[in-house]
Structures are given as C-alpha cells and as structure tokens.
Amino acid sequence: MPQLNTTPWLMILIFTWFVFLIFILPKVMTYIFPNEPTLKNKKTFMPWTWNWPWY
Amino acid sequence: MMLNYFDQFASPIFLGVPLIALALTLPWLLFPTPSTRWLSNRLTSTQGMFISTFTQQLLLPVNKGGHKWALILISLMIFLVSLNMLGLMPYTFTPTTQLSMNLGLATPLWLATVIMGLHNQPTHALSHLLPEGTPTFLIPILIIIETISLIIRPLALGVRLTANLTAGHLLIQLIATAALVLLPLMPTVAFFTMILLFFLTLLEIAVAMIQAYVFVLLLSLYLQENI
C-alpha cells in the first residue's frame, strides 16, 4: 500500500497543518452570527453572540 | 512495472508539483470569506448556517470550558468534509486516504485532550480508566484494557478515516472496471453493474460525510471526558 511508504509523511504532516492553520481557521473565524436588530422600545439588554470564544 | 489498484493512492507528482499540495490548497476557493456586511450572498449564508448549526450540535454536550475548541473542531469538520467529497470526483486525489495526514490530525488533537485532562483534573481523567460497577477481581485487568484502549484512540481515529476512504475508492474503481470490461461481452450484466456502481457512489458520498463527522464527534467526545 503506497500510503505506508514513510518518505513523504513528514512533508504531508507539515503541509496539512500549515494549510489547516493558515487558510481554514481564519476563514471560519470570520463567520459572525449577528442577532436580529431589537426595537427601540424593548427594555431587554443585548444578548451575547457567538464570537468563537478563545478563553 | 505493472500498475495495480493501490497505485491511485500514491501521491502523483506532475511537472515537479506534488498533486497532494494542489488537492490541499485549492478546495478553499469554494469557501468565500464572509465580509462584515450584514447581508451576504447565498453561498456565504448557506455556509454560515451550516457552521452555526453544526457548532451548536457539536458543543451541546460539552461544558463551557470546551467551547474554546469550537473553532478548531468546526474547521476540521469543514476540512475533512470538503476533501472527502471532492475526492469522489473522477481524476481527483483524496488527501484523506493518506494515513500520514489522518494520523497527523488525530494524534495531536487527542494528545491535547489527554494532556489537558491529566493537567487540570488528573483524578477525574484517570477515573475513566475504571468503569463504574466492575467486580473487584476484574479491576486490574480492566485498567490495563482501558489504558490500551486509551492509547489506541489516535491510531483508531486515523486508520478509520483512511481505511473507509481507501476501501470506498478501491471498490468504485473495481466495479467501474468490471462494468467497462463486461460492456462488450455481456451488456445486461454490465447494465446491472452500472446500477450497482450508481448506488455505491451514493453510499460513498454518505460515507465521506459520515466519516468526517465521526472523526470530529469522537474528538469532541474525548474532549468531554477531559475538560
């Protein structure tokens, strides 16, 4: 099975994580989910939106 | 050197460029980065809906400390689903058939959950090694078995994805070859083989999505245990 040939394994590992961290993570992070705008006469405070919490 | 059916999984190099590099970098053109506009186009809205629904579903059983893993788990899901699905098209290369890539994704993430669990709440993390209600005389052997099952998790994660996709691609190729060869000899049998190939392709589309989901779901499960 050619997948078991360990020669390209390090490059594939490094390249996969590189693409994953550099291209995809920022793309997903820019997705924001804003709330529907609330009316002025409503007394409720603004609820919290999902902002990809980091801590 | 005769070409065998496994050679489709050897990463081809064309004009000095390994095609796995193209297969890994180009799919993200299908995912436009959303702008800060409130109303975006249909593709961005659809992807945003998928991401928000999936995040909610995945993080439902995870407590608040695990929510910081949302970004990496969702990105991983999008990564794996798009690579798997695009690999089903003819003449494409599926990077997720490479054991190196799947092990490379599974091992660091699993190890991160284990290290976090052992560092923050070591007693709670170690308590998973002994299921509740075991008879006393079975305790030593069960701890050994549970430790082995813990160590084998990243291997299982990686090999599960690799094997499912590799087997699927191989089956498609075998049955397609059979249909092609049978066409001049026994057209009726070739016709039924084509129907089988059609259903197999539908199954492979489902498998592509399910295997990516299972990978991410299991990682979230390991996270639940340790966070």
C-beta atoms of B9 and A3 within 8 A: yes
Dihedral over alpha carbons B30, B51, B125, B109 (to 10 degrees): 10
User: Closest Cα to residue B196, out of B219, B214, B171?
Assistant: B171
pLDDT band of residue A33 (cuts 50, 70, 90) is: confident
Backbone dihedral angles phi then psi of residue B183, each to the nearest 5 degrees: -55, -50
C-beta atoms of A16 and B99 within 8 A: no
**What crossing angle do the helices spanning B139-151 and B153-185 adopt, rounded to 10°?**
60
- pLDDT recorded at residue B12: 73
Domain that holds residue B69: 14-33+41-224
Would B3 be classed as within a structural domain? no
Query: What is the average pLDDT across A10-31?
Result: 92
Distance from CA of B198 to the nearest CA of A (A): 26
Q: What residues of B are in contact with residue A37 (Cβ under 8 Å)?
A: none
Would B5 be classed as within a structural domain? no
Would B8 be classed as within a structural domain? no
Query: What is the average pLDDT across A23-48?
Result: 80
- Interface residues from chain A to B (CB-CB < 8 Å): 1-6, 8-9, 12-13, 15-17, 19-20, 23-34, 50, 52-55
Q: Searching chain A, which residue's CA lies closest to the CA of residue B5?
A: A1
Answer with the residue of higher pLDDT: A46 or B101.
Answer: B101
- pLDDT recorded at residue A4: 84
**Number of compact structural domains in chain A:** 1
Would B92 be classed as within a structural domain? yes
Q: Tens of pLDDT along B102-132?
A: 999 999 999 999 999 999 999 999 998 888 8
Does residue A39 surpass a pLDDT of 80? Answer: no
Cα torsion angle, A16, A20, A21, A23, sign:
positive
- pLDDT recorded at residue B24: 93
- pLDDT recorded at residue B1: 63
* B39: DSSP letter: S
Would A55 be classed as within a structural domain? no
C-beta atoms of B79 and A24 within 8 A: yes
- pLDDT recorded at residue B39: 82
Specify whether the CB–CB gap between B169 and B87 falls below 8 A: yes
Tokens describing residue B70: 């949302």
The parts of chain B modelled with pLDDT lower than 70 are: 1
Would A2 be classed as within a structural domain? yes
Domain that holds residue A41: 1-49
**Interchain contact B192–A (C-beta under 8 A):** no
User: Closest Cα to residue B226, out of B110, B56, B107?
Assistant: B110
C-beta atoms of B28 and A30 within 8 A: no
Dihedral over alpha carbons B91, B92, B98, B101 (to 10 degrees): 170
> Which contiguous run of DSSP H or E holds residue A29?
helix A25-29
Would A54 be classed as within a structural domain? no
Partners of residue B14 on adjacent β-strands: B17
Would B93 be classed as within a structural domain? yes
**Number of compact structural domains in chain B:** 1
Specify whether the CB–CB gap between B157 and B106 falls below 8 A: yes
Average pLDDT, chain B: 92
d(CA B149, CA B2): 40
Would B1 be classed as within a structural domain? no
Would A35 be classed as within a structural domain? yes
- pLDDT recorded at residue B36: 83
Q: What residues of B are in contact with residue A15 (Cβ under 8 Å)?
A: 20-21, 24
